[in-house]
Amino acid sequence: MDQGGQMATNNSSGALLELRGVSKHFGPVQSLTDVNMSAPSGMVTALVGDNGAGKSTLVKCIAGIHSPDDGGHIFFDGKEVSMKSPKDAASLGIETVYQDLALCDNLDIVQNMFLGREKRRGLFLDEDAMENAAKETLASLSVTTIRSIRQPVASLSGGQRQAVAVAKAVMWNAKLVIMDEPTAALGVAQTKMVLGLVRTLADRGLGVIIISHNMNDVFKVADRIAVLRLGKMVAEDRADKFDRQIIVDLMTTGVSTRARSEDALSGAEGGAH
């Protein structure tokens, strides 16, 4: 990859998140090689790839769980950043919604949304303030199917749990929300609700990165698509430059000879325009 020449242009593109030449290895296993990627504000960027392509590793590098190998650069909001922990990422405004959602079934919605960041008044928890803030956030996301904000998360449906997890991420003034397989294991109606939520986030001006296996969902909600294969970014461009078949080709072979293939190939160098 000819990252040297591209750096200046990519920084000036003003994307919220810029990855430049990010690599990551675990012992002898090279999970990510020289990955460039960008995620602009107000857009949904879908990250696709086969199993083991490195999607989760890449996301964990952005979320501060893994620190990338030396030599790579991560720019956030125009500044180079290095994140040592999920807390660093959170303080920048990067929030991640994991596939397992990381909710405590035995706690209620408010308690889950504030887990680890509870508001206090003196020594004691400020339940009223937390409940109001949680209520506002859910309302702002147009989540209307939840009857009581004080019901345990165990009693929620899959889509509602996803909504709570997203609301939890957004409440902390997130600028970038990363979602790992948000629609896996959801029914049709619930998938629709969650994709609506993803769209709402982007329309509010947040950057969204969504990992998905489901091409239907990707084409329904994504503005941009990035394709990973064996740890390398093989294509990244606007969603309308791809079709389903091209993506499958890229995921499996790294190239596509179909129509628009020149866009797909040059996508490896291009950022957002």
Partner 1 sequence: MATNQEDIKATADIVAPTEVDPTAANTANYFEVATFGEYVKSSIAKVKGGDSGILPVLVGLVIIAIIFQSLNSNFLSAGNLINLLSQGAAYILLSLGEIYALLLGEIDLSIGYVAGVAGIVMAQLASAQHNWPWWAAIIVALIVATAIGALQGTIITRVGLPSFVVTLAGLLGWQGVMLIILGNGGTLPISSNVLNDLANGSLNTVATVISIVAIVAIYAIVVMTREVKRKKKALHRAPASLAYIKIGGAVIGGAVLILISNTNRGVLVPIRGLPWVVLIVVAFVVMWTILLSKTRYGRYIYAVGGNAEAARRGGINLARVRTGAFALASLTAGVAGIIYASRLRSVSTSLDGGTLVLYAVAAAVIGGTSLFGGKGKPIHAILGGIVIAGIDNGMGLLGISAAARLVVTALVLLAAVLIDALARRSRTAR
Q: Which residues bind partner 1 (CB under 8 A)?
A: 86-87, 90, 98, 100-107, 111-112, 115-118, 120, 123-125, 128, 131-132, 135, 138-140, 142-150, 152, 154-157, 159-160, 187, 189-190, 192-193, 195-197, 199-200, 203
**What does the alpha-carbon distance between residue 145 and residue 163 come to, in Å, rounded to a whole number?**
10
**Maximal CA-CA distance, the chain:** 64
Contacts 24+ apart (CB under 8 A), 217-223: 217/183, 217/191, 218/46, 218/48, 218/247, 219/244, 220/195, 221/44, 221/46, 221/195, 222/44, 222/45, 222/46, 223/43, 223/44, 223/45
Closest approach, Cβ 13 to partner 1, in A, equals 26
Measured from the CB atom, the residue of 104 and 259 that comes closer to partner 1 is: 104
Tokens at 70, concatenated: 């030396």
Find the angle CA(210)-CA(223)-CA(206) to the nearest 5 degrees. 65
Identify which of residues 140 and 245 has a Cβ nearer to partner 1 in the complex.
140
Helix, strand, or coil (residue 260): coil
Compute the half-sphere exposure of residue 43: CA atoms within 13 Å on the CB side of its CA.
20
Report, in Å, the least distance between residue 55 CB and partner 1.
18
Q: Which is nearer to partner 1, 76 or 98 (CB)?
A: 98
Min. distance of Cβ 136 from partner 1 in angstroms? 8
Instruction: Select 121 or 244, whichever has its Cβ closest to partner 1.
Output: 121
Q: How far is the CB of 103 from partner 1 (least distance, A)?
A: 6
Residue 20 or 220 with smaller CB distance to partner 1: 220
The residues with which 256 forms a beta bridge, in sequence order, are none
The two structure tokens encoding residue 263: 């866009």
Which of 150/244 has CB closer to partner 1? 150
Which residue type is seen at 34?
A: D
Q: Which segments within 111-201 are labelled E, that is strand?
A: 120-121, 124-125, 176-180
What are phi and psi for residue 46, nearest 5 degrees?
-90, 135
Please report how close the Cβ of residue 80 comes to partner 1 at its closest, in angstroms.
24
Q: Which is nearer to partner 1, 106 or 216 (CB)?
A: 106
